[in-house]
Structures are given as C-alpha cells and as structure tokens.
Amino acid sequence: MITTRMDPEKARWVGSGIPPRLRGVSLADVEEMGGQCDAVAKARSFVEGYRAQQSKNWRGLPVNPDSYGRGLLFAGHPGTGKTTLAVAILCELRRRWGITVYASRYTDHIDRERKLVRADQSVDPEQVSRWQYAVERVQWADAVLLDDVGHEHTTDSKFAEDTLEQVLRQRYDEGRVTLVTTNLSGNDWAHRYSTPLRSFMDQATRRQIFTGESFRRGDL
C-alpha cells in the first residue's frame, strides 16, 4: 500500500477544522501576500495581547472585564483575505499561547446541528459522533472561527440566527473568543439579523472592514 507522508507541522492541525492548505499559516505569511495592512496590524496586536485580555485575578474574575472574551469580526467583499487572516490568528494563538482552536464554516455548523436534532437509530453512530465532536469544538474551544456568517440558509423558524446568538453568547459569557467573517455589508447585516443580535455582536467582537479587490482564487 502506498502512503503519503504528511508534513509534521500540518499534521499538528488535524482535527482543528482548518483546511489543509491553511494549516499553520502565520501572520508573516499573510503580510507577504500584501494588502490589508491595517487589519494585519490589528490581528498581530490581538494575538500579542491575548493573554493580558484573558487574564484573571486571584478570585478568578477577569482583570479586564470589558475585553475579556471579546473576539473579532472581519467584514468585506469576498476574496479580500478575511478567512486567511482569521485562520492565521488561530494558528498564532495556538503556537504562542498553547490554547485550543477550531474553525468551521457557519453553514457547516448549522448543518451539523440540524442533523443531530434529526438523527435517529438508522444513522451511523460514528457519523453522529463526528458531528457531535465538531459542534462541541465550536462550543468549547478557547478560540473559534465562524467563517462566512450570513451565507447560511434562512428559515421561518430562525434556527440559524438563534443558533448564532446562542453560540456567541455562550462563548462570550465563558470568556472564549470568537472570530467571525462575513461578506455582508452594514445594510445587509441589519436586514438579515435582529437588532439585539447585532448589538451583541458589537459587544462581543471588534469590527474590521476589509476593502480592496479580490486577490484570491479560492477561500475556505
């Protein structure tokens, strides 16, 4: 049997949800691609300040309650580097601070949540276990990327919106940072999501707008 040896550095990221082509990407790699200098600078500051942001006092309370658990929201047109930079932040956080990280398209997360709700005894238990693993990683990893929020299918039940708010609130309350990428503009965001959710997003993340033309052939 012929086997292909995996790069040890990339093998470290198996199970992180990060696509193979982006596993281990660094902020230096993103800088070499060019563009979005302001966003890269803010990303570097976020990584360097993570430990201070998340620190607690002797009573187990956040030293900086206004920033504790606060993540980042990257908004802009497709192909402007949002996903690549967000993944680079995850990789840098794991390398520098040793925390657990996970990345998922939000559409995939919603799909897994729906499948778990509908799963019965006819579904392969191993498949259910894989869905459950991914859902739990989104809930409990120290830092998570929800990629391409706003691309998910909407329903009258507002399942996707309610799930987004639940995940964000739970993670923020537990002090776990969340990175979010979206192609939605301000008006589109306001049309798609409720006022309370938009307000909470401003509380739980710092917003960075990506401008410029697309420079990529593919994204996450």
Task: Give the residue among 138, 161, 109 at the shortest CA–CA distance from 117.
Answer: 109
Q: Is the pLDDT of residue 134 over 70?
A: yes
Cβ atoms < 10 Å from Cβ of 131: 19
Q: pLDDT tens digits, residue range 85-102?
A: 999 999 999 999 999 999
pTM of the model: 0.88
Query: What share of the chain has pLDDT > 70, as a percent?
Result: 90
Angle at 74 (CA atoms; ends 15, 35), nearest 5 degrees: 100
Cβ-proximal residues to 68 (8 Å cutoff; 6+ apart), any chain? 53, 54, 62, 175
Q: To the nearest whole number, what is the mean pLDDT of the chain?
A: 86
Contacts by residues 187-191 (CB-CB < 8 Å, ≥ 24 positions apart): 188/150, 189/75, 189/150
Q: Is the pLDDT of residue 219 over 80?
A: no
